[in-house]
Chains A and B, each alone.
Chain A
Amino acid sequence: MDLIFEGIKKAFWLLVTFDPEVFRITFLSLQVSGTATLVSLLIGVSTGTAIALSQFPGKRFMVSLVNTGMGLPPVVVGLFVTIFLWRNGPLGFLGILYTPTAMILAQAVIATPIVMGITLAAIQQLPKKLRLQILALGATRLQMVWILMKEAKLPLLAAVMAGFGGVISEVGASIMVGGNIKGYSRVLTTATVMETSRGNFEIAIALGIILLLLAFSINFIITQIQQRERTR
């Protein structure tokens, strides 16, 4: 019990004194996961919308593929990204293994199917005749897609949150492709794993609290959105 209490006390101290190491780690976490989410948004929203709006043979198969991808185990993603970026791997020439860029890549691979899957569902659940109505109002195809996205803005916002929430809290891929290098590729999750294994509970708890706060704010916002959806 004492261990936890002492840990929390020290953790709090680290937080309120703006410990430079803790803040560097937090900042990198936000930077890596934020960028990865942005990349996943660009790919996921556009592809998800395209799949939702088009008819082609094998669409069902494609959709189930995307849905499966929403639950990709980060460790497996980490493994394959590592193999691809390995010195004599297909993307080895980039020389980005054990860099934050590799972490962004791996996290984008994790977040993209999540964003794509939610986008797909969000666009598909809009009434089919809405598309006809938009076209009948004189919209070009591009304008139609834009209006549909605006109509699905709340679930799309949830997609952003879910994507970000998925990657900020993952540890497997980040540790594998980032290497948890101090001051360079160390993020909240990888640092927590390391500090815990070393017995530095106070730092681990401080990092854990920050992670929890981030997770909480994300879920808080998602819940707000869902509640708003339900009451209308």
Chain B
Amino acid sequence: MMSDSTTILEARNIRVERGGTVLLNIPSLSIEEGEILALIGPNGAGKTTFLQTLSYLLKPFRGEIFFGGEKVETHVSVLEYRRKLAMVFQYPLLFDTTVFNNVASGLRIRGMKKKEIDDRVMENLKRFGIPHLSHRSAKTLSGGEAQRASLARAFAIQPEILLLDEPFASLDPPTRDSLIEDLERILSQTRTTAIFATHDRLEALNLSDRVAVMNNGMIQQIGSPEEVMNHPIDEFVASFVGVETILTGKVIRKHGGTFVASISGKEIEAVGEVYLDETVILCIRPENVTLSTQPRPEATSARNVFVGRILKIAPLGPYQKVHLDCGFPLVAYVTRHSVEELSLIEGNEVGASFKATGITVIRK
């Protein structure tokens, strides 16, 4: 991804405890210059705690933070360090003044000259498409405009690292999509290093170079989006990155690179290096499951063909989520059109198939 990469930020043995509970436990994490790292995880996973610890807003904590190889507090003062960062929160948190003054606030804090401030503010207002709002009071902005102003304020100080804490979570979908698009463009133009927290995995996959999946204050898995999506290391990560069906079974046969696992009496064929009698976890993404009207569809290249009873059909954005009982639970996504075409009705039986290669195998 980046051949001549240099580490800009490094966190070592970070630990935050409150009242005997460990809120955050990060043994080590390095961030490369220009990299965009997404922290994903459910609410309470420690994403916000991590971002606030990294920016020295949450104290006390144990551990060390190095900025460009220099230890914060020892070689660089906290204030100096903090002035190299910018943070954008879920809510815009604008000051009760004009948009211009808001965007200028970080620069005034740094005691910059007026002429320079004017240039920087205008540049960033334009960048986020809001120069016309310059003299408007921040209180009169819509949610999307306010978050644009908040981002412009953060970019105005030309941070070396930008921290974003669920910056789009409180915006409606169209506003969010256009802002994500702009942010992606601006991040790549300015080559700003960014760490952003989100509970929306699609947002993470779209924007980031690397994804860290967090749970219970720890990073469960960190890697490229493809890696995390396609090779989750455990059930938690699997379910968080969108795997709906997670089955535990025992390997009963193997030949070549494939094996057969027994799951509550049913046999599922999958690909992977495993031992006989080993317990494995099979992750099946709902989009990899095909449904058909034939109760026993013979003509299919898929190795795994089952008949399942439809337990529930629930709408999910443009798709319908179909819960099946095939002797084991199975979830499939189909389009509305397919629901009609296949006349899927709760309680009826339907054929379900998925390829052996479409299963992610997690070894215990």
Interface residue ranges, A against B (CB under 8 Å)? 127, 129-130, 132-133, 135-140, 143, 147, 150-151, 153, 232
Complex CA distance for A130 and B96, rounded to whole angstroms: 11
Give the secondary structure class of B's interface.
mixed
Whether A137 contacts B105 in the complex (CB less than 8 A), given A129-B89, A132-B89, comes out as yes
A129 to B139 CA separation, bound complex (whole angstroms)? 17
Q: Which residues of A contact B105 (CB under 8 A)?
A: 137, 147
Residues in B neighbouring A139, C-beta threshold 8 A = 109
Contact with A along B150-164 (1 / 0, CB 8 A): 000100010000010
Contacts of B157 in A (CB 8 A): 137-138
List B135-188 residues whose CB lies under 8 Å from chain A: 137, 139-140, 153, 157, 163
* Residue contact A137 to B89, C-beta cutoff 8 Å: no
Given contact pairs A137-B157, A138-B79, A232 touches B95 in the complex (Cβ within 8 A) = no
A172 to chain B, nearest CB (A): 38
Say yes or no: is B251 at the interface (Cβ < 8 Å to chain A). Answer: no
Nearest Cβ on chain A to B107's Cβ, whole angstroms? 9
Complex Cα distance, B240 from A3, in Å, reads 85
B contact residues around A143 at 8 Å (CB): 109
- Contact with B83, one of A130, A138, A150, A151 (Cβ below 8 angstroms): A138
Cα separation A37 to B108 with both chains bound (whole Å) = 31
Tell me if B89 and A140 are in contact (CB < 8 A): no
Which of A132, A140, A150 has the most C-beta atoms of chain B within 10 angstroms of its own C-beta? A132
Q: How many residues of B contact A (CB 8 A)?
A: 24
Nearest CB in chain B: distance from A231 CB, A: 10
B86 contacts A by Cβ under 8 Å: yes
CB interface residues, B 243-272, toward A, < 8 Å: none
Inter-chain contacts of A137 with B (CB < 8 A): 86, 105-106, 109, 153, 157
Provide the bound-state CA to CA distance between A137 and B85, in Å. Answer: 8
**Chain A neighbourhood of B95, CB < 8 A:** 147, 150-151
Asked if B89 and A138 sit within 8 Å, CB to CB, the answer is no
Out of A133, A147, A151, A153, name the residue touching B89 (CB < 8 Å).
A133
What distance in Å separates the Cβ of B185 from its nearest Cβ neighbour in chain A?
23
**Nearest A-chain residue to B137, judged by Cβ:** A232
Q: Contact check, A132 vs B79: say whether CB atoms are below 8 A apart.
A: no
The answer to whether A129 touches B91 (Cβ under 8 A) is yes
Q: Which of B79-129 contact A (CB under 8 A)?
A: 79, 82-83, 85-87, 89, 91, 93, 95-96, 105-106, 109-110
Q: Is the CB of B109 within 8 A of A133?
A: no
Q: Which 5 A-B pairs have CB atoms at the shortest separation, nearest pair first? A: A136-B87, A138-B83, A137-B106, A133-B93, A232-B139
Q: Contact flags (1/0) for B289-301 with A, using CB distance below 8 Å?
A: 0000000000000
Once the chains bind, are B93 and A135 in contact (CB under 8 Å)?
no
Residue B192 CB within 8 A of the other chain: no
In the assembled complex, B55 has its CB within 8 A of some CB on chain A: yes
CB-nearest residue of chain B relative to A139? Answer: B109
Closest Cβ of chain A: how far from B276's Cβ, in Å?
Answer: 55
B76: interface (CB < 8 Å): no
Query: How many whole Å from B194's CB to the nearest CB in chain A?
Result: 14
Contacts A129-B93, A151-B96: A135 and B82 contacting too (C-beta < 8 A)? Answer: yes
Q: Residues of A contacting B137 with CB < 8 Å? A: 232
- In the complex, the chain B residue whose C-beta lies closest to that of A153 is B96
In the bound complex, how far is the Cα of B79 from the Cα of A143, in angstroms? 12
User: In the complex the two chains form, what is the Cα distance from A132 to B83 in whole Å?
Assistant: 13
Min CB distance A119 to B, Å, is: 17
Nearest B residue to A127, CB-CB = B93
Q: Closest Cβ of chain A: how far from B100's Cβ, in Å?
A: 15
Q: Is the CB of B93 within 8 A of A138?
A: no
Known: A130-B93, A151-B95. A136 touches B79 (CB 8 A): no
Cβ-defined contact, A132 with B109, below 8 A:
no
In angstroms, Cα B89 to Cα A135, docked, is 13
Distance from B138 Cβ to chain A, minimum over Cβ atoms (Å): 10
B residues 183-218 with Cβ under 8 Å of A? none
Distance, CA A132 to CA B88, complexed state (A)? 10
Most B Cβ at <10 Å: residue of A129, A130, A132, A138: A138
B106: nearest chain-A partner, CB-CB: A137
Also in contact, A138 and B110, with CB within 8 A (given A129-B89, A133-B93, A151-B95): yes
B91 touches A138 (CB 8 A): no
Q: Report the separation of the CA atoms of residues A154 and B24 in the bound assembly, to the nearest whole angstrom.
A: 39
**Contact of B57 with A by CB under 8 A:** yes
Tell me the smallest distance from the CB of B58 to a CB of chain A, in Å.
8
Check A132 against B52 for contact (C-beta < 8 Å).
yes
Bound CA–CA A76/B94 (angstroms): 44
Query: Which chain B residues lie closer than 8 Å to A130 at the CB level?
Result: 93
A214 to B137 Cα, complex, angstroms: 32
Find the A residue at minimum CB distance from B156.
A137
Q: A151: which B residues are within 8 A, CB to CB?
A: 95-96
Contacts of A150 on B, CB cut-off 8 Å? 95-96
8 Å CB contact of A133 from B85, B87, B110, B140 = B87
Residues in chain A near residue B89, CB distance under 8 A: 129, 132-133
